[in-house]
Amino acid sequence: MPAVSKGDGMRGLAVFISDIRNCKSKEAEIKRINKELANIRSKFKGDKALDGYSKKKYVCKLLFIFLLGHDIDFGHMEAVNLLSSNRYTEKQIGYLFISVLVNSNSELIRLINNAIKNDLASRNPTFMGLALHCIANVGSREMAEAFAGEIPKILVAGDTMDSVKQSAALCLLRLYRTSPDLVPMGDWTSRVVHLLNDQHLGVVTAATSLITTLAQKNPEEFKTSVSLAVSRLSRIVTSASTDLQDYTYYFVPAPWLSVKLLRLLQCYPPPEDPAVRGRLTECLETILNKAQEPPKSKKVQHSNAKNAVLFEAISLIIHHDSEPNLLVRACNQLGQFLQHRETNLRYLALESMCTLASSEFSHEAVKTHIETVINALKTERDVSVRQRAVDLLYAMCDRSNAQQIVAEMLNYLETADYSIREEIVLKVAILAEKYAVDYTWYVDTILNLIRIAGDYVSEEVWYRVIQIVINRDDVQGYAAKTVFEALQAPACHENLVKVGGYILGEFGNLIAGDPRSSPLIQFNLLHSKFHLCSVPTRALLLSTYIKFVNLFPEIKTTIQDVLRSDSQLKNADVELQQRAVEYLRLSTIASTDILATVLEEMPPFPERESSILAKLKKKKGPGTVTDLEEIKKERSFDMNGSAEPALNATAVTTPSPLEDLLGLGAAPVTNIAPPPSFNGSLLVDVFLDSPSAVAPLAPGSDDNFASPDLASSEVVSEEPADTVHDADELFHKFVCKNNGVLFENQLLQIGLKSEFRQNLGRMFIFYGNKTSTQFLNFTPTVICSDDLQSNILKLDGGAQVQQVVNIECVSDFMEAPILNIQFRYGGTFQNLSVKLPITLNKFFQPTEMSSQDFFQRWKQLSNPKQEVQNIFKAKHPMDAEITKAKIIGFGSALLEEVDPNPANFVGAGIIHTKTTQIGCLLRLEPNLQAQMYRLTLRTSKEAVSQRLCDLLSEQF
């Protein structure tokens, strides 16, 4: 950097800053600033031309005033003029002012861009560095458009100085992060990889950061970086601290570069080349060996740098999950940190071991540290470390240690921090169910859980225990006996009353032979809790009472007296009052046979994924330790040595917690047909229209979204897919509904839930990984016409299961947008495209009209080009109620008593776009004898009439 001469001290600036600091009040400061602003303004507008030094001084003062929080509305042109100076200090101040004060919409942006281009072309390394720093600091889309094509050329040019290469790499990284679509991939990508071999480690460090980010999105372009990264890492790891003297930090050679290289290698699977793989293994072994060596310095900076490299190396070992020896060594090294005096190290060790526990190679090694982890749970002072200890116990749990771990977690639950109690409850419930050999132990565990932490036991937990008890005949009697005994405690949690009421209502007869639990005693015990409970629990108990009428006719009169009491029949709550009236009437007029039929036992629930596990994932967030359950599924299945469905944490009739995420609400458990079981489905719970009451679907029914045929249309290639998975049958299902499964093959399931209002919409896209292997570099992209705009919130590969697309209808459109998905699975590049069901009718707003208004408007749209008619054969049964639902689902208002023929259906609505509104009238005339329909659409635009007619015709 050029030397700063004496004249660059800017004494006037120093005096001004001193005056500001000496101000005794805010008013005095403002007065001094206003005086200075007036002086600067007069200098800039004066007839006498200012020299570079004066411009620099006054621009500096303006910058200081702006940083104090005052608005600056002049001086920008003077700052731009400083960019053309040949003096470093003047140019530096100009760039600093522009980086801080000039926004991307400024009228001066063209002048600024020209000045930057001149500096980039000057080949003066100092000026080029200033220009690159300015581009990176501003980082706007306009900057990316202007310079994204130039910077890669500077980066890979042979005559570019090292300092400029560093700045160019980091500048390009900044532009790629803000505007990835504007950074072109080209010949430079293969050349930038070779910067990993550069002699200047600063250039290598900057290039590694750039390549890592680019490789996450374009892995194929940069796969040659793996061998170069391994080679460079090997040279660093095996060198002495004196070999890299300028880049050695407290006796650790180039720790930042080592960490970046290790992160770059985590973008790819293990190297296929045996030589490269062997060299990488040697590097990782060396890092693990160095961790065992005595520290070369007692300063914390030394241990921090050394441990940073170690933990990143362990992350790479876990990512590859292919070297048993390295995985076990990594586990043993982390085990030493579990008792380290440094809290952060204990936390990181627990976190890393959670991931190691998912590997079949290191699971047993992790289990050897169980006593240390349990001790950490009891003695750690930091709640975040205790939480990681809970996560690790959950991750290392299997059939051999389940009872010990569950017991320890229950013990800890009594004194656990309130912030993590709900999470512990969920984990205990999952482990108790998954590894239950004796289901009496499972029932005892859950009841104990409710006793200890009843307030934190969610509905999913007690729903689940009821489902399992109903599904297993061998535990029903024990469950009834156990809940009966638990209810005799003076103070019972309300969740225990719910469980007791439900189980005794179903299986109370199994213990009624014992005089200590006779029918009347059971009833009196439950009714003694009735007045202390909330309305939903009282409603459940009333259902239990009517079940008792069927199970125990001898206490029918007692129960009828309770139902007949004023506190029930005149209850202020409508639900309780209605139940009491209906149950009383049912018990009075129904015969014994009818009662037995209506009030028979709940049928077994179909086996499906546990809603408790889904709730835990939702609470913890994707990408956390709870997601390891999917990774561990195959291994734990083998360990269990059994394929019993209950041990695999399946079967729910309550709505999935994901439905609450979508705002669909939860439905109470009722004695109705359970939802169907979808083998292998990850997302189907989210999309059931009525989660608690869905009959099994026929293969050709409207709501059957499972499509095995789609598996055959998967595209697996190294090139972008030219074909689109049309899946017309599934696509047309979405014309009249907004949620469902859009695509499914053996790897991936894609589900949708969307909402629309006028010309705007929002679509939630859910991705389900049906395999036990993580998808790498998962990149979805929406491609749509100019008439439809979408903004997809991109997420890191495989880290989330939900994405949000914001949609705007600019004008009427015909083609649906395309969702293109790219990811790596098992080392193979996957590329597929599906149509998103965003159709013109989604932007319908229903319009209510009288019969007179409808036909008046109908006549106004009598131009032949405004009407489209289609006569077609019915594809589905001609049911009037289903037809009404589909017309409403299509988006229009269903107008009753408008058409003279009551068998016809008419609708009206308005298509909203950004530029216009298009009125639409429709008339559907069914002919039951001929099994035909005639559909007539009239709108103010012929293309819209045709499109809406085509879409709606497919629904019938």
Q: Is 247 annotated as a binding residue?
A: no
So what's the pLDDT on residue 275?
Answer: 92
Copy the structure tokens of residue 397: 């749990």
Q: What is the mean pLDDT of the chain?
A: 79
Could you confirm whether domain 321-396 is CATH 3.40.50? no
Q: For residue range 379-428, what is the model confidence (pLDDT) as tens digits?
A: 888 888 988 999 999 988 888 888 999 999 998 888 888 888 888 888 88
Contact 21, 55 (CB under 8 A): no
> Between 4 and 641, whose confidence is greater?
4
840-954, CATH topology level:
TATA-Binding Protein (3.30.310)
- Rounded to an integer, the average pLDDT of 570-574 is 87
3-state SS record for 915-936: CCEEEEEEEEEEECCCCEEEEE
Report the range out of 161-165, 628-632, 709-713 with the highest average pLDDT: 161-165
Strand partners, 725: 834
- Rounded to an integer, the average pLDDT of 531-559 is 90
The SS3 assignment for 422 reads helix
So what's the pLDDT on residue 413?
Answer: 87
For residues 16 and 53, give the distance between their C-alpha atoms in angstroms, rounded to a whole number: 16
So what's the pLDDT on residue 158?
Answer: 82
- Closest by alpha carbon to 352, among 383, 294, 399, 307? 307
pLDDT category of residue 474 using cuts at 50, 70 and 90: confident
Please tell me if the domain spanning 321-396 has the same topology as the one spanning 726-835.
no
Contact 252, 291 (CB under 8 A): no
Q: For residue range 202-245, what is the model confidence (pLDDT) as tens digits?
A: 999 999 999 999 998 888 888 889 999 999 999 888 876 666 77
Residue 285 carries which side chain, given as an amino acid letter? E
Q: Determine the Cα angle at 656 with ends 384 and 807, to 5°.
A: 90
- Give the up-direction half-sphere exposure of residue 955: CA atoms within 13 A in the CB hemisphere: 24
The SS3 assignment for 908 reads strand
So what's the pLDDT on residue 242?
Answer: 61
So what's the pLDDT on residue 661?
Answer: 27
Which residues are CB-contacts of 62 (< 8 A; sequence separation ≥ 6)?
40, 72, 74, 75, 97
Q: Determine the Cα angle at 500 with ends 495 and 505, to 5°.
A: 135
For residues 142 and 153, give the distance between their C-alpha atoms in angstroms, rounded to a whole number: 19
> Between 48 and 524, whose confidence is greater?
524
Residue 566 carries which side chain, given as an amino acid letter? D
Q: For residue range 654-683, what is the model confidence (pLDDT) as tens digits?
A: 333 323 322 323 333 333 233 333 333 333
Q: Determine the Cα angle at 812 with ends 806 and 817, to 5°.
A: 45
Contact 23, 29 (CB under 8 A): yes
Copy the structure tokens of residue 726: 């049309």
- Rounded to an integer, the average pLDDT of 711-729 is 40
For residues 603 and 671, give the distance between their C-alpha atoms in angstroms, rounded to a whole number: 9
Q: For residue range 878-915, what is the model confidence (pLDDT) as tens digits?
A: 888 888 888 888 888 888 878 878 888 888 888 888 87
So what's the pLDDT on residue 2?
Answer: 47
So what's the pLDDT on residue 212?
Answer: 92
Give the length of the chain.
956
Q: Work out the burial of residue 669: count CB atoms within 10 Å of its CB; fewer than 13 is exposed, 13-18 middle, 19 or more buried.
A: buried
- Closest by alpha carbon to 548, among 567, 574, 524? 524
φ, ψ (nearest 5 deg) of residue 678: -115, 105
For residues 412 and 75, give the distance between their C-alpha atoms in angstroms, rounded to a whole number: 65
> Between 25 and 862, whose confidence is greater?
25
Contact 113, 151 (CB under 8 A): no
- Beta strand ranges found along 355-470 (DSSP E): none
Q: Is 60 annotated as a binding residue?
A: yes
So what's the pLDDT on residue 207?
Answer: 92
For residues 879 and 346, give the distance between their C-alpha atoms in angstroms, rounded to a whole number: 65
pLDDT category of residue 788 using cuts at 50, 70 and 90: low
φ, ψ (nearest 5 deg) of residue 46: -65, 165
So what's the pLDDT on residue 107?
Answer: 75
The SS3 assignment for 126 reads helix
Percentage, residues of the chain above pLDDT 90: 15
pLDDT category of residue 631 using cuts at 50, 70 and 90: very low
3-state SS record for 307-331: HHHHHHHHHHHHHHCCCHHHHHHHH
Q: Is 43 annotated as a binding residue?
A: yes
Q: Work out the burial of residue 639: count CB atoms within 10 Å of its CB; fewer than 13 is exposed, 13-18 middle, 19 or more buried.
A: middle
The SS3 assignment for 871 reads strand
Percentage, residues of the chain above pLDDT 70: 83
Q: For residue range 919-940, what is the model confidence (pLDDT) as tens digits?
A: 888 888 888 888 888 888 888 8
pLDDT category of residue 647 using cuts at 50, 70 and 90: very low
Copy the structure tokens of residue 947: 């499109």
Provide the greatest CA pair distance for the chain: 111
pLDDT of residue 329 exceeding 70, the answer is: yes
So what's the pLDDT on residue 724?
Answer: 44
- Closest by alpha carbon to 586, among 554, 542, 541, 522? 542
pTM assigned to the model? 0.59
- Give the up-direction half-sphere exposure of residue 137: CA atoms within 13 A in the CB hemisphere: 15
Strand partners, 867: 938
Domain borders along the chain are 9-101, 321-396, 490-602, 726-835, 840-954
- Closest by alpha carbon to 153, among 199, 120, 115, 176? 120
So what's the pLDDT on residue 72?
Answer: 84
pLDDT of residue 546 exceeding 50, the answer is: yes
For residues 251 and 271, give the distance between their C-alpha atoms in angstroms, rounded to a whole number: 30
Owner of token pair 């149950």: 583
For residues 936 and 276, give the distance between their C-alpha atoms in angstroms, rounded to a whole number: 68
Q: Is 165 annotated as a binding residue?
A: no
Q: Is 434 annotated as a binding residue?
A: no
- Rounded to an integer, the average pLDDT of 492-515 is 89
Contact 625, 394 (CB under 8 A): yes
- Closest by alpha carbon to 17, among 57, 53, 52? 57
Contact 445, 479 (CB under 8 A): no
- DSSP 8-state assignment for residue 85: -
So what's the pLDDT on residue 621?
Answer: 58
pLDDT category of residue 362 using cuts at 50, 70 and 90: confident
Copy the structure tokens of residue 910: 């308005």
pLDDT of residue 472 exceeding 90, the answer is: no
Rg of the Cα atoms in the chain: 35
75-84, 566-575, 711-720: least confidently modelled range: 711-720
For residues 25 and 16, give the distance between their C-alpha atoms in angstroms, rounded to a whole number: 16
So what's the pLDDT on residue 167?
Answer: 93
Strands 867-873 and 932-939: antiparallel
Owner of token pair 């189907």: 684
So what's the pLDDT on residue 208?
Answer: 93
pLDDT category of residue 775 using cuts at 50, 70 and 90: confident
Q: Is 53 annotated as a binding residue?
A: yes
- Rounded to an integer, the average pLDDT of 628-640 is 38
Tell me how far apart the terminal alpha carbons of the chain are, to the nearest angstrom: 76
pLDDT category of residue 504 using cuts at 50, 70 and 90: very high
pLDDT category of residue 687 using cuts at 50, 70 and 90: very low
Q: Work out the burial of residue 391: count CB atoms within 10 Å of its CB; fewer than 13 is exposed, 13-18 middle, 19 or more buried.
A: buried
726-835 CATH, one of 3.55.50.30, 3.40.50.300, 2.60.40.1230, 3.40.470.10: 2.60.40.1230
- DSSP 8-state assignment for residue 674: P
- Rounded to an integer, the average pLDDT of 132-157 is 87
C-alpha pair distances (Å), 783 with each of 367, 813, 816, 835, 856? 48, 14, 9, 10, 41
Q: Work out the burial of residue 687: count CB atoms within 10 Å of its CB; fewer than 13 is exposed, 13-18 middle, 19 or more buried.
A: buried
Neighbours of 301 (CB within 10 A): 13
Owner of token pair 């009228």: 107
pLDDT of residue 705 exceeding 50, the answer is: no
- Rounded to an integer, the average pLDDT of 692-710 is 33
pLDDT of residue 591 exceeding 50, the answer is: yes
Copy the structure tokens of residue 2: 């050029």
pLDDT of residue 159 exceeding 50, the answer is: yes
> Between 680 and 630, whose confidence is greater?
630
For residues 396 and 694, give the distance between their C-alpha atoms in angstroms, rounded to a whole number: 37
So what's the pLDDT on residue 104?
Answer: 64
pLDDT of residue 499 exceeding 60, the answer is: yes
Which residues are CB-contacts of 603 (< 8 A; sequence separation ≥ 6)?
674
Contact 259, 312 (CB under 8 A): yes
